[in-house]
Amino acid sequence: MDGSASEYATTTLDVGGMTCESCESTVHRALISLDGVESAIVSHADSSAIIHSNGVGREALTAAIRSSGYSVDGLGLDFNWSDASVWKQSAHNTKWCLIGCSIGDFGTIAAFQFVFTDSGWSTMSIMILAIINGLLTSIALETVILAKQLGLYEGFKVAIGMSFISMVAMESSMNVTDYLITGGAMLTWSAVPIMLLVGFITPWPYNYWRLKKFGKACH
């Protein structure tokens, strides 16, 4: 600090919504981009940001963090539906959730459609099992992705804590769409693209709302 450390003030903020090192990096970049910020130590484990700055007020620091999609002292930005960056990020999160859910869901339906053809299971039973397996594979995929950053155990804890509302809405909408198109639990070339589209669109606004208001991702 060029021998003038006394000129720098230390501000500690309570940051909500961070779940991994990627979140830490996002908050860190937002803070460092401000003129006058010398350094920032961000921790998702402690839900905190410790900033050393010169001439940068608490309000400016708070605004930078909130604009990056995270809350400070329990408050985020005033909610609106017009943030293109949040729509983009929530679409990315929804995409990964859809991939994970589809593996278990489609795999289950395909197993009963092509392998266990005489199982005697009802359409409702197959769809319920498909939804459960879709949730499990989504959590498994997220655990693998997050494990690279957090380790297996921490990655699993974050994955299991992600939005079940989003995943259940996705799974339910895909299976209802399948039933309306095919009349049963079946995969066809005409049904699968529509199932994926509906599965993506249904939870996307909710994921936007959750990310925009609370800084929390679905996946």
For domain 5-72, the CATH class is alpha beta
Output phi, psi for 213, to 5 deg.
-85, -40
114: Cβ contacts below 8 Å, ≥ 6 apart: none
Mean pLDDT in each 10-residue stretch from start to end of the chain (219 residues)? 62 85 87 93 91 92 85 73 83 91 97 95 97 94 80 79 86 97 96 98 91 64
pTM listed for this prediction: 0.71
Please give the pLDDT value at position 1.
44
Residue 114 DSSP symbol: I
Task: Fill in the DSSP letter of residue 112.
Answer: I
Q: Where in the chain is the domain with CATH 3.30.70.100?
A: 5-72
Neighbour-count burial of 104, counting CB atoms closer than 10 A to its CB (0-12 exposed, 13-18 middle, 19+ buried): buried
